[in-house]
Amino acid sequence: KAGVTQTPRYLIKTRGQQVTLSCSPISGHRSVSWYQQTPGQGLQFLFEYFSETQRNKGNFPGRFSGRQFSNSRSEMNVSTLELGDSALYLCASSDGTARGIDTQYFGPGTRLTVL
Amino acid sequence: KQEVTQIPAALSVPEGENLVLNCSFTDSAIYNLQWFRQDPGKGLTSLLLIQSSQREQTSGRLNASLDKSSGRSTLYIAASQPGDSATYLCAVTEYGNKLVFGAGTILRVKS
């Protein structure tokens, strides 16, 4: 099976712009989670989508939003970018039906730089 | 609020040595604990998943243990190799699929 894919791999934006990141999960997986990784804060949970519904959300401002499509692909949007949004954004996919006991598989990430 | 701590923050060992990485968590109400590996600038690779009802899991040269009551897990790597050099991350799964990560241990295996 193909792994988790994320596009684009690298992105450079300026403050105030908005950005959309995409994640395609492993075939058959219905759960997609998003994480932000920074040197200062480490890996932090953004949100999880399952069958097109947001099932869980972390402590991030409303500028961070997401959605999931019927084919389980997910997008994450960040509006009004700030310098502190520069990070590696990782998505993870899993079966999602056996909550908490199935392995999560991560994509290679999207490196976002905000200037 | 769940907090996950990993010790040591960094480790440098000669090739062939056996080593132990430590992970502790503050809230024992977890579904499972996972160990991941991350190479520089890359995504995470799942190494081992231990369900909350299990005590340990093994995969090749890796063995992970879990003591939920004391909030501790260890990852044992046998006969380390230079290719094992990476950052190792411990994460607990809370409600749903939310992972709470430690800061990681940076491992360098010298040839």
Give the pLDDT means over successive 10-residue stretches in chain B (111 positions). 95 97 94 94 92 93 96 98 97 87 97 93
| A67: CB partners within 8 A, 6+ apart | A49, A52, A74, A75, A77
Mutate: best of B34, B97, B98, B101, partner A, most A CBs <10 A: B97
* Res. A99: pLDDT tops 70: no
Mean per-residue pLDDT, A4-23 = 97
At residue A100 the predicted structure's pLDDT band, cuts being 50, 70 and 90, is: low
B34 touches chain A (CB under 8 A): yes
User: Which residues lie closer than 8 Å to B53 by C-beta, 6 or more apart?
Assistant: none
CA-wise closest residue to B66 among B57, A109, A57, A59:
B57
pLDDT of residue A1: 66
Please check the confidence at residue A10 and state whether its pLDDT lies above 80: yes
Contacts of A99 in chain B (CB under 8 A): 31, 95-97
pLDDT attached to residue A96: 79
∠ Cα A108 A109 A113 (to 5°): 140
HEC profile for chain A?
CCCCEEECCEEEECCCCCEEEEEECCCCCCEEEEEEEECCCEEEEEEEEECCEEEEECCCCCCEEEEECCCCCEEEEECCCCHHHCEEEEEEEECCCCCCCCCCEECCCEEEEEC
Lowest mean pLDDT among A38-47, A83-92, A97-106, B65-74: A97-106
Nearest CA in chain B to A109: B43
